Structure 1
Amino acid sequence: MSAPTTALAPTGAREVPSRPRSGHLHQIDMVRVLAFSFVILAHVVNGVNDMADPDVAAVSMSMHFTRSAFFFLTALVLVYGYRDRPSGVFSFWRKRIGVVAVPYIVWSAIYTAINAPDATLGDFARALLQNLITGGAMYQLYFLVVTIQFYLVFPLFLAVLRAMRRWPVLTLSLAIAFQFAYDSFFSIQPAPVDGFLGEHWQVITSVLPSYLIYFVIGGVVAMHLEVVTEWMRKHFWAMLGFAGAGLIAVQINYYANIGEGMHPFTASNPLQPSLMIWCVPAVLAVYAIGVRWADRRQPGSVADKVLQGGTLRAFGIFLAHPLVLSLIYDNLLGQLIGSFGFMGATVIVYLLGVAGSVLLVELLRRTPFSTKLIGRPSAPLLSAKAKSTLRSLGGLKPTA
């Protein structure tokens, strides 16, 4: 592929590399790896520590931006890929849904079996069906349920964004108003227990409307990607400051709610409307970090290779890391807390969880079931370089 050309810019303005439509958005790699790294940390914080502790819940709440980043990223990538070309509804569904649905079904079955090892076949089938509908087999799988819902409505979503392309501020304002009203209604305690609202409440974290604002932000950014990206370049530090101010504001609101007697679990709920004050700027700040990385990356450098490797394995790590963490909790957590305290145990479990998840994904990639397990084609057991090294060590001439 030919090298990207450089767009002409006015004298003194930053020259922005243009790229073919088939090119790769390197800032997305950074956003994806940061989001997946922090979601594992969030799960470790929740798994190691006492969530009834207000300070622990405050830390956990601050990492809710990871789910926002996931949905922002999902919409950005899809809308950017389809914004200027026609997309047949059925061809889109056929291409996209299976990539997510098959690993979702497989891992739901795995986690359902692990959680109920003594269940009869009938009980297992009923539990699996329920889990497939709600994403309840394991705590991270709601993301895939929401993603599949988004894929189902994506043709309509894209049509609306195209129609509203000239009015991005109005589009975002309407989405923010909807999200605030929706979150405010379902944050009211006590929760509804009867009828449609009661049923909706039971699966509130697994339905598309709970995260609509982040899909819309991702879609609007994609529709105006070149302008937004250049704006992020010029206002990088302002974006970080905006996110920092949002974090301070949401923490002040959280501790005010605690002071009024609200339980930490309720005060840190991901559907608290006040969380938008933090999650919206946090997601945009992460994207700004990705833009800065893309502008400064050195192709082929160690950092670039690590990030590309993380991107390649991120989906598999997301699916598999609860399995690794559960093994650590069952076999090591008590000793780690006793020896290093909760903070030390959190750090150690996180490092072990990441390393173990990467290792597990590497093993799964080298099985015939890689596509069904982690959504990636199978990799050879040994790389070409490793095979060449082994042949050399064995005195054999490498084959072409």
Structure 2
Amino acid sequence: MSQVKNARRPYIYELDLLRVVTMLTVIAVHITGISAASINTTTAGLQAQNAVVNLLHVNRSIFMFISAFALVYVYYGKPVQTIQFWKKRSLGILLPYVVWSFLYEIFKLPHDVPWPIFFRVLAVDTLTGQASFQLYFILISIQFYIIFPFFLALMKKVARHPWITLLTSFTLQVVYLYADYHTVQMGRIPLVGFWHYYARYAERCILSYQFYFVLGGITAIYFPQVRAFLLRHGRVVVSCAVIAVATFTLHYIIQVRIYHEPIPHASAVTQPMMAFYSPCIIFFLFWLASRWTINTSPQQPPRAFKFWHTLSDTSFGVYLCHAFMLTVALSWLIPAMPTSWPVALRVFLGWLFIASISVSFCLVLLRIPVLSRLIGREAPKKATPPPENKSLATPNRDVVKLGA
């Protein structure tokens, strides 16, 4: 690879599509996983539904990849004022995270709980991402924003050696996942002291996903070469994705059907196989998105760009709010469906309800000054700027102009 000089960089249309896919699969994995025990009446059905959950867990890796890609693409090749960067990001992500954590605590804690206890619980849950089960996504983003100036400096130092960097990061990721999966997650060490807190919060720590951030950063630096490779070798990319899905599913089946391992363990997000499976799916989706953007230009964005771009603008808000809609779907919608309906249909309708209501809610907030900040967006302007004047990082996109 030859290093890409970052002067004036074009808008990456592919990221809009990737953000939407990630947003929708996050909803899918939550409705599929949480409803499995209550909606399935057979062991085989429960195992099959969790096999789907296992495959959908890749959305976490894609989220980390996109986060790193977007920021590195925007800031690589120019100085970053660390304090200014943190101030800007705190308004875009920290403020809505704290507000939504507060709302979830109001919703889940008893109404008669004393205020001192409420605020103590709120403080702990906000720091640990436990106000609601899905907020670890945002907590990890906050951690990444905190270290990003240093991460970017590291990327600049290692950019000349992308393959060595990726191989080192990948090896560390696999070793870490293997050690964690076969010791802590298997209960082979006493979960006391440090190990108690490690087991409880490891999945909410950025270090557990370092490879996906490094992969996103390196891909951003060498994006033209990566995109050209994907388009040139589409059959290889698709074949790798198919093999990855088949192998990952077979591995899960062997675990639950032959070794009789518990489903939560067999479908854990932090398992060694995920480090092999995730890159194949990430680049398959990137290939699909790149196919969508073929023959585009600053004057001619890809087909249906406005639709996907608008959905992309809601993605951060959907991460924050969809747990409320999920509660409604699990409490009233799915139980009201006839049990004679196939499980897949009931789960799909639940997913469709949550996605539709969450996106619609965020679309409304996007158009309301001040309230748009609750989903990490600036107050709407009178005129919508063209795509070439927007950057990639959400929320609070920086300005990046199109160049040749």
- 2:26 pairs with 1:39: yes
Larger radius of gyration: 1
- Give the one of 195, 218, 238 matched to 2:193: 195
Alpha-carbon distance, 1:168 to partner: 0.7
Give 3-state SS (helix, strand or coil) of 2:293's partner.
helix
CA distance 1:163–1:350, shift in 2 (3 Å): same
Alpha-carbon distance, 1:19 to partner: 11
Determine the structure 2 residue equivalent to 1:319: 320
Alpha-carbon distance, 1:247 to partner: 1.3
Give 3-state SS (helix, strand or coil) of 1:21's partner.
coil
- 2:152 pairs with 1:154: no
Q: Is the 8 A contact 2:237 2:284 kept in 1?
A: yes
Alpha-carbon distance, 1:97 to partner: 3.3
The count of residues paired between Structure 1 and Structure 2 equals 366
Determine the structure 2 residue equivalent to 1:393: none
- 2:136 pairs with 1:142: yes
Q: CA RMSD in A?
A: 2.3
- 2:284 pairs with 1:285: yes
- 2:363 pairs with 1:362: yes
- Please identify, of 347-356 and 329-338, the stretch whose mean Cα deviation from structure 2 is larger: 329-338
- Give the one of 225, 238, 244 matched to 1:227: 225
Q: Is the 8 A contact 2:135 2:319 kept in 1?
A: no
Q: Is the 8 A contact 1:65 1:279 kept in 2?
A: yes
CA–CA distance in structure 1, aligned partners of residues 191 and 301 of structure 2: 55
Determine the structure 1 residue equivalent to 2:122: 128
- 2:13 pairs with 1:26: yes
Q: Is the 8 A contact 2:169 2:210 kept in 1?
A: yes
Determine the structure 2 residue equivalent to 1:48: 35
Determine the structure 2 residue equivalent to 1:374: 375
Determine the structure 1 residue equivalent to 2:390: none
CA distance 1:350–1:276, shift in 2 (3 Å): same
Q: Is the 8 A contact 2:369 2:379 kept in 1?
A: yes
Q: Is the 8 A contact 1:103 1:372 kept in 2?
A: yes
Query: Within 5 A, what are the aligned runs for 1:1-400?
Result: 21=8, 23-50=10-37, 53-118=46-111, 119-187=113-181, 188=183, 189-190=186-187, 192-258=190-256, 259-296=258-295, 299=300, 303-338=304-339, 340-379=341-380
TM-superposition CA deviations, 1:59-104 (whole Å, max 9, x none): 1010011010111000001111111111122122122233111111
Alpha-carbon distance, 1:297 to partner: 5.8
TM-superposition CA deviations, 1:312-331 (whole Å, max 9, x none): 11111221111112122222
Letter in 1 for 2:169: A
The percentage of counterpart residues that share the same residue type is: 26
Alpha-carbon distance, 1:204 to partner: 1.4
TM-superposition CA deviations, 1:323-377 (whole Å, max 9, x none): 1121222222211253524221111111111111122113323444324311113
CA distance 1:300–1:168, shift in 2 (3 Å): closer
Higher relative contact order (CA 8 A, sep 6+): 2
- 5+ long unaligned stretches in structure 2: 385-404
Give 3-state SS (helix, strand or coil) of 2:37's partner.
coil
Letter in 2 for 1:269: A
Letter in 2 for 1:28: L
Letter in 1 for 2:292: W
- Please identify, of 216-225 and 183-192, the stretch whose mean Cα deviation from structure 2 is larger: 183-192
Letter in 2 for 1:61: N
- Please identify, of 310-319 and 168-177, the stretch whose mean Cα deviation from structure 2 is larger: 310-319
TM-superposition CA deviations, 1:237-256 (whole Å, max 9, x none): 31121111111111121122
Taking structure 1 as the reference length, what is the TM-score of the superposition? 0.86
Q: Is the 8 A contact 2:20 2:312 kept in 1?
A: yes
CA–CA distance in structure 2, aligned partners of residues 93 and 246 of structure 1: 38
CA–CA distance in structure 2, aligned partners of residues 173 and 202 of structure 1: 29
Q: Is the 8 A contact 2:73 2:220 kept in 1?
A: yes
Q: Is the 8 A contact 1:134 1:203 kept in 2?
A: yes
CA distance 1:169–1:138, shift in 2 (3 Å): same
- Please identify, of 20-29 and 303-312, the stretch whose mean Cα deviation from structure 2 is larger: 20-29
CA–CA distance in structure 2, aligned partners of residues 124 and 284 of structure 1: 44
Determine the structure 2 residue equivalent to 1:394: none
Letter in 1 for 2:272: P
CA–CA distance in structure 1, aligned partners of residues 30 and 296 of structure 2: 30
CA–CA distance in structure 2, aligned partners of residues 276 and 374 of structure 1: 30
CA–CA distance in structure 1, aligned partners of residues 364 and 81 of structure 2: 36
Alpha-carbon distance, 1:301 to partner: 7.5
Give 3-state SS (helix, strand or coil) of 2:155's partner.
helix
